[in-house]
Amino acid sequence: MATANKNLSAYDKTTIPSAKDLRFGIVVSEWNDVITEGLYEGAMEALLDCGALSENIARWNVPGSFELPFGAKKMLESMELDAVIAIGSVIQGETKHFDFVCSATAQGIMDLNVRTQVPVIFCVLTDNNMQQAIDRSGGKHGNKGAEAAIAAIKMASLG
């Protein structure tokens, strides 16, 4: 397992560009909100820790992970941003629905990265069960939201 021995929240602040002058959008799925709120909190904490100003961070909610690409697209069209973080959680069920939602969401976010000049960071947990999601949204493996925030800062700072 890729995250078995990794703390997703760990970063070396000395290697991260300052986020002081950057503007961020965060699109958060309401589905599995116990998980997505934890991811959002991790992302916010890391952005603020790296110098981002709270007034330069916008949050929009969408119903589910499938809607994240559209929410991110609309956010990019209506705001001047340096990066967007798309936060969601899809947990394996008994049907193929999991596969379709995960694939379409990842493809939609990738398409935005290819078509726009603003990086959109994929922070969608695709776990086999709720415990795995808990472990990656502030639990024993740290917080994937913090990792996504660091990626957003680094990508927004590319020359």
- In the set 13, 20, 97, 140, the catalytic residue is 97
Instruction: Confirm if 47 and 155 have CB atoms less than 8 A apart.
Output: no
Instruction: Confirm if 96 and 60 have CB atoms less than 8 A apart.
Output: no
Instruction: Confirm if 130 and 31 have CB atoms less than 8 A apart.
Output: no
Tell me whether residue 141 is one of the annotated catalytic residues. Answer: no
CA distance from start to end of the chain: 34
10 Å CB burial of residue 5 (0-12, 13-18, 19+) is exposed
Q: Which residues are catalytic?
A: 97
